[in-house]
Chains A and B, each alone.
Chain A
């Protein structure tokens, strides 16, 4: 995705390290001399320390849905806990709207959490001793909001997640999907700008998961939060993300749009993820435009920018000459060879 957004990034992560073990910070400083990031990580491992997040650098733009994906143990959960400062990173900076929260005082941090940050947890993290409404209103209570105000706001967000009528039940009486709706409602109660979601749908049944993903996209379409979303499911990542960062062994190996990840994996590890992904559904025709536009194109099946490969291919099944690709206004801005379309889809089968 090109840099259309000129505003400052909502979150900027700069050279972030999280090393577990005793005396991690000095060890990391010493290891800096070892050379590049891989050498530093190796030097730390030699000292039996665990570099769980290594030299992470990325930005999340305002209103962007940024997905971090990786297998378990790849450091993605550690990463989101560093960004939200649930654990103290060993080195680096995390800027939220330009402010480095790793330098923030405890008081400032509490303030940020009360007004600006929201988080959803994999196993919901609901307070077992509180009703649904009290759970949702808890962050407001921390802010010092009055009882009536809390209740009103809780009802609003519960309605947003489709749980109206369940406000006075206890979490133990809800199904997994309903519990996560409560978790989502709670994280939205203070109307935060930044929304962290740590594998929010991983503990749910596939059917419920898809339903919640769709609702989540709907909510995001109206609220336009800046989101960091953790998942281990490539389908989920591709479905939701504006951009995806893929992690392996604490390292970000590739950052890109879903299309880039699917069509241009930087290495075998990333390619392995997208192997089973039906590319035609995620990649658009732009990704396989020919160099230049041929002068003479006999057929025009009506291929448009933004059309997925699947759709494009069904339109030119019978054709074997390049066809024009038009933008929204109907202006020809490129061409694509049907042969290439078929090729791009076939590549996945290997």
Chain B
């Protein structure tokens, strides 16, 4: 479904450094790593929001790194994305935000869009919030609106960038319950980045760690604790002493 071959991304310093990755259809994959290690850049590179400096990015059998913006728009229809800061459109109300991917895709009746928005908002626990503006919502509610927008078009690939950043532990658990419920229905390929390792591990089946632009661990979530790499070891335990 998603394959990266020798992907480099460089601004004033290397951000992704010869990164290789292969995700099968339907996998729920988590990515952890220290701040500024390239997590969000990796997600944006897969979505085509950032172009790699070199290397290949394959999505559903198509090599996207050389595509222009018009071709990329067709590829992006396969994605739903929850952004780190939610990126809700502040000039639209909640209903318009959630409906937007369907409206832009076209071919869906306004009545059906309204029904699907209401149903999706109910699924995320925000029934009746259609007319509220994003600035009237709490952090957790905005996250849920972002999740509803990312998943309303039932995309085959869903990308969650820090789905629980800035949320309290209870809200974090609720958000992951919601993501699990959505995943049980959609069976989409999921890429999730989070700094909250323990919460993320309850959601993903496969987990990777990125460090200095390279993936230094990629395996089953259940095997992460047994990893002997000193960087992974220190990071997942939050120890002060070590190579990080």
Task: Decide if A and B are genuine partners.
Answer: no
